[in-house]
Amino acid sequence: MFKVQTLNNISVLGLERLPRDRFEVASEIANPDAILVRSADMHKLDIPASVKAIGRAGAGTNNIPIAAMSKRGVPVFNAPGANANAVKELVLASLLLAARNIPASLDFVKKLDGDDKAMHEAVEAGKKKFVGFELPGRTLGVIGLGAIGVKVANAALELGMTVWGYDPAMTVQNAWQLNSGVRQALSVDDLVSKSQFISVHVPLLDATRGLINADRLKLMKKQGVILNFARDAIVDEKAVIEALDEGRLHAYACDFPSNALKGHPRVIATPHLGASTGEAEDNCAVMVADQIREFLELGTIRNSVNFPEAQMPLLPGTTRLCIVNENVPNMVGQISTALAKRGLNIADLLNKSRGGLAYTIVDVDSGETDAAAKEIAAIPGVLAIRVIAAR
């Protein structure tokens, strides 16, 4: 029986992918084999030694101590693209809210009083304060052309906008999805200087912290709009407020409210709602639950942010060893020597690496697999090992 701990509410559709005869799932559970999480901050959490995998039912993994998990040989999985449409729709909604000054106009309407005639007169007199602008011909710059950025860029083209994109490490798969009408910016500065609207869709990393800062805001076209549905720290809030107050920036739309932003008339803040649709919650939970199940039952790695992809059919009648080790020479040699010493025949083997980590799946014919596993675990550089018997 595998134990899975949930640190956030995970969609039932996802949890149902873990059959109850083989998986016990609960928010409070001792010695879990795996953790399912959304945005709960795991950096200060004491993650039990029993944990063999972490599944993020979403895209961003900056709430998970990935480097520490890699050192322990624990893969972290996420659900790439599973909530991208939900985020795209919220970005488009915010783009329109900003262009048409809708939040301020709704506040105005809420405060109207008097009889209908008085209200009508106030409406007609007041509406000139909320004159907006239309999108065709305006320029949007999209920083980060991943699952979300590509969808936002393509949708903005459909709305008649001129779209520039920047992503130095775009995947081939995302490049295939991107409309050829999206123009390629040469750098973030190049993109910023061409854009009136800017939408950021990059992960929060050291390299992206403060990506939109005071200098870049000065490069932007006048009356610009920044859309941040990625992570708070990617945009320098202080610089944004300064640009809003000086009238250089028209609006800041973001998914990350803060005290500094609260109540600002030109800030449109939603409470981290990007992925909060039933569809996205189901997609993310199903994807990540399947990946966790395949890892626990078969050692398969799909969509990990710190491990290489690894899939190998489990041969009937064999026992599987899954070994995580430092990516250094002669590890496979030492592993096969330990197996040979116990007279274990290798039926199939897969060895993959990513950065400083290597992962080996080896299926052996029957024999002293537990003893061999113990010997392999003691090889310097081996970080984790599991034995899985074919069912």
Ligand X SMILES: O=C(O)[C@H](O)COP(=O)(O)O
Q: Is 91 in the site for ligand NAD (CB under 6 A)?
A: no
Q: Which does 145 bind (CB under 5 to 8 A by kind): ligand NAD, ligand X, none?
A: ligand NAD
Report the largest interatomic distance among the alpha carbons of the chain, rounded to a whole angstrom.
94
| Interacting residues with ligand X (CB under 6 A) | 38-39, 58-60, 83, 272, 274-276
Nearer to ligand NAD, 39 or 334 (CB): 39
Binding mask 265-304 for ligand NAD (x = CB under 6 A): -------x-xx-----------------------------
Nearer to ligand X, 83 or 369 (CB): 83
Q: Is 146 in the site for ligand NAD (CB under 6 A)?
A: yes
Q: Is 147 in the site for ligand NAD (CB under 6 A)?
A: yes
Dump the DSSP string for 205-235.
-GGGTT-B-HHHHHHSPSSEEEEE-S-GGGB
Shortest Å, Cβ 382 to ligand NAD: 30
Identify the CA nearest to 217 among candidates 184, 241, 253, 185: 241
Rounded to the nearest 10 degrees, the angle between the axes of helix 147-158 and helix 84-99 is: 40
Q: Which stretch binds ligand NAD (CB under 6 A): 44-52, 67-75, 103-111, 202-210?
A: 202-210
Q: Is 163 in the site for ligand NAD (CB under 6 A)?
A: no
How far is the CA of 58 from the CAs of 72, 100, 210, 285, in angstroms?
23, 31, 23, 8
Asked if residue 152 lies in contact with residue 199, where contact means CB atoms within 8 angstroms, the answer is: yes
The angle at the Cα of 299, spanning 40 to 148, to the nearest 5 degrees, equals: 45
Q: In sequence order, which ranges of 32-141 are alpha helices (DSSP H)?
A: 66-71, 84-99, 102-110, 116-126
Q: Which does 39 bind (CB under 5 to 8 A by kind): ligand X, ligand NAD, none?
A: ligand X
- Three-class SS of residue 312? coil
Residue in the structure block whose two tokens are 């944004």: 240
Shortest Å, Cβ 121 to ligand NAD: 41
Residue in the structure block whose two tokens are 């041969």: 315
Q: Is 255 in the site for ligand NAD (CB under 6 A)?
A: yes
Contact positions vs ligand NAD (CB under 6 A): 58-60, 80, 83-84, 87, 143-149, 166-170, 174, 201-204, 207-208, 229-231, 255, 272, 274-275
